[in-house]
Amino acid sequence: MPENGSGDGIYFSLREIGIILALSVLAALTGALIPSYFFPESRLSEYVYGMLELPGPGAGVLVFGSILCFWLLLGLILVKKPGTAAAMAMVLIAIDLLFGNQAVIIQSLDVLFIVAIIIEAGCLFISAGPLWKYFLPLVLMMLSLVTLGIALLGLAKQGEDNIALAQFPSVYYVFGILGLCYAVICYRYPGKYFVAAGLANMYYMLHFWLFWGDGFASRFPPDPAMMPILFLVALLGGIISASAIYGIEFLCKRCRLRGEQVQRTS
């Protein structure tokens, strides 16, 4: 304990530990427990594949992966210490082990820690240099154009069995156009949160394909042509989460500046 009697720990202070625990509980509630309550068994998958007309497997990463990225990034901007996301992932794993309502397998737990490490590394080492300024917009543009091309050619499919989509592929156009819009935004305003969350969510998707299911790589889409739209969905989910974090960070800075101005004038 430090000499100032503040009750700080060796690395994280007690206040920071409280933030990590609180955000981890919120992440568990919003990312697993609440969705499992409202969408028991496979009903969430049915919603994603039926209502959103997305192919699979793995489209649910738009929900689960994006929520995870949001809370991990929020922990990083509030605590402002390396290791925060990794600590939150460990708490999430503990919560899953204690309260998870399904059989816990190592493949479903290690992805939490790996995603946290990707976000940590991205926030620490990614800069606004020319490599990352062009990398993310280029990936977004390529995936979006492929998605729009699939829709225009009438090759859109839905569901884990990749059944041909009978109706107009409106969701394909929405994700394709949204991807192109974000390509422009990420080029104009390059940010490490965009890259970190986007890559982390894409890995979440890849991890699902490789390690979940009956055997190695047993969950890959039956039609490989559907992989670009699924990667785009995952990438956009991470980027949208990062957009929310940038908004929260902006508001926090505004509140901090206003507080400093009030102190100076009082």
Are the C-beta atoms of residues 1 and 41 closer than 8 Å to each other? no
Contacts with 214 (C-beta within 8 Å, 6 or more apart), sequence order: none
169 prior amide bond cis, ω within 30: no
pTM of the complete model: 0.87
What is the per-residue pLDDT for 185?
94
* Mean pLDDT (the chain, rounded): 84
Backbone angles phi and psi of 97, in degrees to 5: -65, -35
Residue 7 in tokens: 């009750």
Q: 36-40: list long-range contacts, CB under 8 Å, 24+ apart.
A: 36/101, 36/102
Q: State percent of the chain over pLDDT 90.
A: 47
**CA–CA gap between residue 84 and residue 140 (Å, rounded):** 28
- Torsion 144-58-243-129 (CA) sign: negative
pLDDT tens across 81-131, in order?
999 999 999 998 888 888 765 444 445 568 899 999 999 999 888 775 667
Grouped pLDDT means (10 residues each) for the chain, 266 residues? 47 92 91 67 65 80 88 94 94 82 54 93 78 88 96 89 86 95 92 93 91 78 89 95 94 85 76
Provide the CB-side half-sphere exposure for 218 (13 A, CA). 6
